[in-house]
Amino acid sequence: MWAVAVALLFLQAADPYAAGTKALEEGRYEAAVTAFTAAVAADAKDYAAHFHLALAYSLLHRDAEGIAEYRKTLELHPGLYEAELNGGILLLRFQRFLEGYPLGRSLRLVVAISAACGLATAPIGWLQFHSVQLLTVPANALAAPAVAPLLGLALAAAAVAPFSTSAAAALAWLNGWCAAYLVAVARLVGGLPIAQVKSTRVLLVLLSGALLAAAYACPSRWQQS
């Protein structure tokens, strides 16, 4: 019996995915995050590990990180219904957090997605490059109008190419303007002096400001408490 128990523990330690699944079933969500993070590190293309990491984040109400992981899951496995559903629920929850700000509905969605991805990647950028990108949200808000036409024109060009190369070339030419716009936005925003922070002191000041902004965003919650 002892040998079986030791063998099971060894297999779980060697298989972080199995350990993460067990932690999820037992309600140990922090342990699940640790295990699935190790599983993702071992195989970055394992969509199931990304999915369950996103689930663990969502159960801890770490919505920004959860949204980023669901997006990664859908990149690896497009059309996965569970990831689309869960990610949509997290986006709605994140949008409600932004209701205290004077933003339109469509802009709120762009801000929610951009902020979620920016918050999720900020720790990685700080640890790897000792810098945090500050203008992720405005950059994505500026780029958003060109993304749908870019994808639509690309799909249309691919669809008509077997029948008319000239039509496909015309669509590709139009698509080039969308791509050029995205490049211009990246250069414009990335070239600003405040595009990134590399100072720990400045980063702490900005985090304090972000906490104050969060308090402003939820005045009713503070009053109820």
pLDDT average, residue stretch 64-90: 81
User: pTM of the full predicted structure?
Assistant: 0.48
pLDDT of 30: 92
More reliable by pLDDT, 45 or 212: 45
Supply the DSSP symbol for 43: -
pLDDT of 9 strictly over 50: no
On whether the CB atoms of residues 190 and 212 are closer than 8 A, the answer is no
Q: Higher-confidence residue: 145 or 160?
A: 160
State the Cα–Cα distance between residues 32 and 49, nearest whole angstrom: 10
pLDDT value at residue 53: 92
Domain limits, the chain: 16-129, 131-212
Single-letter code of the amino acid located at 68: A
| Strands (E) located in the chain | 132-133, 196-197
Does residue 171 have a pLDDT over 70?
Answer: yes
Residue 161 in this model has a pLDDT that exceeds 70: yes
Instruction: Please tell me the least confidently modeled range out of 32-41, 176-185, 216-225.
Output: 216-225
Q: What pLDDT is recorded for position 136?
A: 75
- Burial zone of 11 (CB within 10 Å; 0-12 exposed, 13-18 middle, 19+ buried): exposed
CA distance readout (Å), 94 to 37, 62, 82, 115, 176: 22, 10, 18, 9, 33
Average pLDDT of the chain, as a whole number: 76
Higher per-residue pLDDT: 17 or 141:
17
Task: Give the residue-averaged pLDDT of 175-194.
Answer: 86
Q: Does 13 have pLDDT greater than 70? A: no
- Which CATH topology does 16-129 take? 1.25.40
The pLDDT assigned to 35 comes to: 92
Q: Taking 50 as the threshold, does the pLDDT of residue 21 lie above it? A: yes
Mean pLDDT lowest among 3-12, 26-35, 150-159: 3-12
C-alpha count within 13 angstroms, C-beta hemisphere, residue 34: 8
